[in-house]
Amino acid sequence: MQKLYSQIVGLPVFDEFSRSPIAFVRDVIIDTENGKVVAFLVKQDRIIVPMDIESFTSGLFIANKDRILPIDDVLRVHEVVKRDIHVIGEKVITEREKTLLGRAVDYSIDTTHMMLTGLYVAKIFFFFHFQERIIPFNKIVKINKGSIVVKDSQPLKEAEKAQAAEKVFA
């Protein structure tokens, strides 16, 4: 099942013994090297790792409160957090042309495999979004601190043909 980042943040976290939420999801921590969700941030320095989630529907369901861990207890998550690379709000540029496509305003996650599947990009003017587009994960080249690089929409060979045609007619 696909869920958007904007739908996940704010979800309640339940354990099997409580009817009221024990926490709320504050952020999704993604390993920007491979697109995998490594944890869900629920408090300032507390996380839930995907393998501890029993159900992911209208909230996150875990076995008990002990599944909420400090960030430092999980080495992989600690390393990803230390890199301090985020997805939301970053500039999205093309690989060859370095064209600014906009900023990442949302992204989708496959909740079965806990993988980033798509990036929602829009140009922003004040609070208005325009020229919105969805970029599939396989088109993302690299997620850096400050920018996300994606493959150009026009394949290389077609671009070279267009440049050659311009030279012939010039």
pLDDT of 157 reads 46
pLDDT of 168 reads 47
Count the Cβ atoms, other than its own, within 10 Å of residue 80: 20
pLDDT of 43 reads 86
Does the structure show a pLDDT above 90 at 8?
yes
pLDDT in tens, 102-142: 999 999 999 999 999 999 999 988 878 888 899 999 999 99
Domains, the chain? 2-83 (2.30.30.240), 91-169 (2.30.30.240)
The pLDDT of 82-88, averaged and rounded, is 93
pLDDT of 35 reads 94
Share of the chain above pLDDT 70, in %: 90
Distance CA 41, CA 5 (A): 12
Q: How many residues does the chain have?
A: 170
